Chains A and B, each alone.
Chain A
C-alpha cells in the first residue's frame, strides 16, 4: 500500500494543541519510560514520528492515543522538552474530530468562537425553552418543582437527548473501529468482539489501565469524577420519575430524609465532581504536573461546565429544602440555570468532544485485543505464514 504524506498535517495538528513537534529527535526515551506502552503497541515516540512525517492515514488508524493515560513521565524525562504526553493528548482531540462525521467536533476544537458561541447558544436556547414552556403559575409559597416543570416532560426530553446523543456517539465509535481495524474489519467474526464484552465493561467502569501509571493519584481523581458523574447521570436520566413510579422518583417535591439513598448519592457526587474538577482547575492554573502544563480552551470549557453543573445541582437541592418550604424563586431559577449548563455540556461534549473518550478508550482496548487475537489465530492456523514472519 502506498504511504501518503500530508505536508499540512503539522499545521492541522497544531490547531488541536500539538506543540513542540519539531523539537523531538526520536530518541525513544518516552517509549522507554512509559509504564503503559507495551511490546505490541509502543508509544508515544511512534505517534510523534507519524505526526512529524505527515502520516495522516497511519495516525487515524492508530489505537495508541487511546491507550495512553497521560501519566506525564514521558514529558518529564523528555531530553528535548518536546512534551510527547501533550502530543498524545492533542492527538486524542484530533482523532475525536476525525471520527466525528458531522464536522462539529473539528469546529469545536479549532475555533474558540464556535466553542464559546455554541455553548452560550445552547444555554440560551434552553433558557428560552423554560421562558416559553415552564409552568405559568409555579407555587411561590413552597418550592415544588412539579409546579414549575412537569417531571415527565423533562424525563421524556432526557431520554430523547440520551437516544440522539448515543446515536451520534455510536456512529462515531463505529467509524473509529473502522479506521483502527482497516482491512480486518470484514474478516474478524463478530463472536471475537463478543468474547471481549466483559473487558469492555471492566475497562469502562474501572479505567484499569490508568492505574498502571507510576503515580496513581490521577487515577483516583478520575475515578472519583467518573463514579460521581455516572451515579448522578443514572438518577437524572434513569430515575427522574422512578421508571414510572416503580422506584422512588429522583425529582420530587417531597423533602427526603438526609440519609435517603438518593441524597447520599447526590452528596457523594457533588463532593466528587466539585473536588475533582477543582483539583484539576487548580492544577491547570499552577501547572504542577506534566498533564496540567498546557491547557487547550476546550479543557477549561469542560471543567468549568462540569463544575457549574455540580454547583447548580447541589444549589437546587439546598434551595428546595431549606427551612422546610425552601426558597421557591431561587429554586426555579437555579433549576433553569442547571439545565442551561448541563444540557450544552452533554450535547457538545458527549458525542463531539471530551466526554466521548468514555467510549473511545474501552472500545479501543477491545479492538486492539481482538486484532491481536485474530492475528494470532491466523498465525497458528497457517504455520507456513508464521515461519515466514519469524524469519523476517
Chain B
C-alpha cells in the first residue's frame, strides 16, 4: 500500500507495480498529483509539471495492478511486516463514476467555497472539479458547505445521474504486505511567524501561493498581480528562510526555497521587464548542479540581493505598500524598503508534523519520519522524510518501493 498520491507516492506505486506487486494508493485529496499538480514550473529546467504527472497517470491507468482511492485516509494499522491490516476511511465524494465532467452541475450550484487548490485566493462552487488535469476527472462536492438534499439543484441539473447526495463515509480494511508512507508536506504556516504579517496583509504571500499566482490555471490566469487590489508589480521582495532553519519554527533547511525564489524571480521578470526584484537571504543554498541555475538567473534577469533576515514587514497605510525592515549586512545599515508584494519563502513542514502515522514509528524534532522508521514494513518516501525537490522525491520513492517490495516478500516468507 502506498499512502499519498503525490509525486513520491505515484512513483513508488508505479515502480512497485512494474516489478509485480499489487498496489493500492490511498490519497487524502480528491485527486492524484499532490503538491506537484499545484506547481507552475519545475526548477531548474522551468518546464511545467503536467508532463511528468501525465506519464505517471498513464502508467497507472494502463497497469491493472495499481488501484487508487481518493478522498481517503488511513485510520489504523495493525499487524506486522508481511501482514498488515490497514483501515482506510473514505470520505464521500457525492459524485460517482458516471460523471463526465461536463460542468452542468456548477451552473446550478448556489453555494461557494474557498478554493484550497489556489490557497483560498479564489472561490469555486460547492461542487467543483479540483483542477483541469484532475485525476480522476470527476467532480466532487465539498460536504462542509453543500446544503445537501434540501438544495438538490445539482442532482436535478446532472444529465448522467452522477450525483448522489446520500453517499456516506465508509471504512475498508486492506490486507497488505508493506506500506510506503508518502504523505508529503504542507507549506509551513507563516502565520506563526508573527513579524512578517502573513495572514494580516493580503500582499504578503508564501511561495506556494506565488506558484498559483503564476500558473495559467491559477486564480489570476497566470498574471502576477497584487492580491489585495490586482495592481501590477513594480517592486517585489522575497524573504528566504521564513520559518526554516529556525529553532522557533522548522529546524531544518527546506533545501528548495532558494531555488524556488530564484525560479519565481524568473516568473516575475518574464511578465515585468522593469520590476525591481529583491531577495533577502541568509545564504543562497543552491547546491551542486543547482549553482548553475543560480548563476544563470542572477546574471540574466537582474536581481537585487540583500544579505539580512528582515525583522518586520508592515503596511504603509498611505499607499498600501509593504515596508520591509531589515539589516543590510554588506553596507552595515538598517533599511526600510517599500514593495508592492512580499513573498515568504516558507519551508516544507511534513504532513506527519500534525497527522502522525497510526503506528509506532520514529520522528525527528520537526515531525519528519526518521530515516529508520523503527517499524519493519513501513517505509517513508519523499518529503515526509526530509525536504527535497521533485527529482530527489522520485529517486527516494523508487528506493522506498524496492524496500517495501523486499519487506513484503520477506514478511510473507517468514509468516
Residues of A within 8 A of B (CB): 25-34, 37-40, 42, 45-46, 77-81
Contact A32 B247 (CB under 8 A): no
- Count of interface residues, chain B, beta-carbon cutoff 8 Å: 22
B104 is an interface residue with CB less than 8 A from chain A: no
Can you name the residue of chain B whose Cβ is closest to the Cβ of A32?
A: B311
Contact B325 A27 (CB under 8 A): no
Also in contact, A79 and B247, with CB within 8 A (given A25-B282, A28-B309, A33-B312): yes
22 A–B pairs (Cβ distance < 8 Å), ordered by A: A25-B282, A27-B308, A28-B282, A28-B309, A28-B326, A31-B311, A32-B311, A32-B325, A32-B326, A33-B195, A37-B327, A39-B335, A42-B333, A42-B334, A46-B332, A77-B195, A79-B241, A79-B245, A79-B247, A79-B249, A80-B247, A81-B247
Which residues from chain A contact B191 at a C-beta distance below 8 Å? none
Residues of B within 8 A of A (CB): 195, 241, 245-249, 282, 307-312, 325-327, 329, 332-335
Contact B333 A28 (CB under 8 A): no
Contact A28 B246 (CB under 8 A): no
Query: A26-B329, A30-B311, A39-B333 known; 14 other A-B pairs, CB under 8 Å?
Result: A25-B245, A25-B282, A27-B309, A28-B282, A28-B309, A31-B327, A31-B334, A32-B325, A32-B326, A37-B334, A40-B333, A42-B332, A45-B327, A79-B246
Can you name the residue of chain B whose Cβ is closest to the Cβ of A78?
A: B247
Whole-angstrom CA separation of A26 from B326 in the bound complex: 13
Distance from A213 Cβ to chain B, minimum over Cβ atoms (Å): 14
Can you name the residue of chain B whose Cβ is closest to the Cβ of A73?
A: B311
Question: Main secondary structure on chain A at its contact with chain B?
Answer: loop
Also in contact, A32 and B310, with CB within 8 A (given A42-B327, A42-B332, A45-B329): yes
Which residues from chain B contact A32 at a C-beta distance below 8 Å? 308-312, 325-327, 334
Q: Which of B245, B247, B248, B327 contacts A28 (CB 8 A)?
A: B327
Which residues from chain B contact A28 at a C-beta distance below 8 Å? 282, 307-309, 326-327, 329
Which residues from chain B contact A81 at a C-beta distance below 8 Å? 247
Whole-angstrom CA separation of A77 from B243 in the bound complex: 11
Whole-angstrom CA separation of A27 from B280 in the bound complex: 10
Name which of A25, A34, A42 has the most chain B CB atoms within 10 A of its CB: A42
Can you name the residue of chain B whose Cβ is closest to the Cβ of A23?
A: B247
Whole-angstrom CA separation of A352 from B248 in the bound complex: 38
Contact A33 B333 (CB under 8 A): no
Whole-angstrom CA separation of A62 from B58 in the bound complex: 66
Whole-angstrom CA separation of A157 from B126 in the bound complex: 87
Which residues from chain B contact A33 at a C-beta distance below 8 Å? 195, 311-312
Distance from B193 Cβ to chain A, minimum over Cβ atoms (Å): 9
Distance from A105 Cβ to chain B, minimum over Cβ atoms (Å): 29
Whole-angstrom CA separation of A30 from B308 in the bound complex: 10
Whole-angstrom CA separation of A242 from B326 in the bound complex: 55
Contact B334 A39 (CB under 8 A): yes
Which residues from chain B contact A38 at a C-beta distance below 8 Å? 334
Distance from A31 Cβ to chain B, minimum over Cβ atoms (Å): 4
Whole-angstrom CA separation of A153 from B327 in the bound complex: 57
Distance from B328 Cβ to chain A, minimum over Cβ atoms (Å): 8
Which residues from chain B contact A26 at a C-beta distance below 8 Å? 282, 329
Contact A29 B247 (CB under 8 A): no
